[in-house]
Amino acid sequence: MAALQRLPRPDPPSARYLSRTRRELPRWAARTVLGPVVSGVRLEDVGVPAADGTTLRVRLYRSGPPAARPRALVVNFHGGGFVFGNLTASDWLCGNLAGRAQVVVASVDYRLAPEHPAPVPFQDSWAATRWLIAHADELGADPARVSVMGESAGGNLAALVALASRDETRRDPTWPVLQRQILLYPATDLSLASPSVGELPDAPMLRRSTLDWYGRLYLPQDRPDSIRADDPRVSPLHHHDHGDLPPALVVAAGQDPIRDDAYRYADALRAAGVPVELSTHPDAIHGFVSIPLFEAAAHLALDQVVAAVLSTPAR
């Protein structure tokens, strides 16, 4: 964590800097540093088309022999402030969820800022989700049993995809209703208006200065198509309508500067009649699910995610 906090934040970052800091660990090293994946889980990377024709990488996690009945599908979006993050960093969460819950997990490698600022990461996430649902049968998955999941920035994208999917169902009743949204310490208000941002400016793993840096790269204000931080296209908390959304598991970290983003979004969902399970791990830091070898709370959170996926939504 100390090394991460000393990492320079050049503004703007060079292509070389971004390439080096985004580099994925070799799989064996990732298992050693980030935690092992339960045996029997198969990983496969496939190409999925984005809206503009770009091919996105999606990693599939499947366990055991082909099932007689299609399995539920969980679409995951990794964290990293919309600037960093990669598929390998999510292997522990996604692989163990696939093995323990016997579901298909699909983790989306959406494009990142500053090369691809908002709303490109959301557009990629939504396009990948639509493709995965349309091709669920080919993946051994059930298009009628789909959930979305994400950590931090990925939690933001999962919430936005849930909103987009809700709107699609309203337009087209044949579009499948999502079963769940699983939001792990999600960034739901990019205007940084949550009180915890001011309370924890020097928190481990995520400082206020880092949040500001991410914001400048993801939401550049020197473009004619600039998006404000409180725009509902990037901040799901500011959406005017949270009704008819899938039941939510919202997991918060007590020592996280965006802890209150989770609390406030859970409140907004409840106010709209959405079933919400809110869980706080008081001593955990931001990103704790990504470091299970160092944060015991990661294992408790995984238990909660598995239980949520296995349970029948109360709709």
Domain with 201, as residue range(s), is 25-301
pLDDT of amino acid 123: 98
Residue 10 resides in a domain? no
pLDDT of amino acid 68: 75
Residue 311 resides in a domain? no
Residue 3 resides in a domain? no
Q: Return the active site residues.
A: 152, 256, 286
Specify the long-range contacts of residues 52-59, CB closer than 8 Å, at least 24 apart: 54/111, 54/124, 56/108, 56/109, 56/110, 56/111, 56/124, 56/127, 56/128, 57/87, 57/109, 58/106, 58/107, 58/108, 58/109, 58/128, 58/132, 59/87, 59/90, 59/91, 59/94, 59/106, 59/107, 59/109
Average pLDDT of the residues in 53-71: 91
Residue 1 resides in a domain? no
pLDDT of amino acid 205: 86
Residue 200 resides in a domain? yes
> Could you tell me the pTM of the whole model?
0.96
Residue 312 resides in a domain? no
Average pLDDT, the chain: 94
Residue 315 resides in a domain? no
Per-residue pLDDT band for 2 (boundaries 50, 70, 90) equals low
Report pLDDT digits (tens) over 189-238: 999 999 999 999 999 889 999 999 999 999 999 888 899 999 999 999 99
CATH of the domain at 174: 3.40.50.1820
Domain count, the chain: 1
Residue 295 resides in a domain? yes
pLDDT exceeds cutoff 70 at 259 = yes
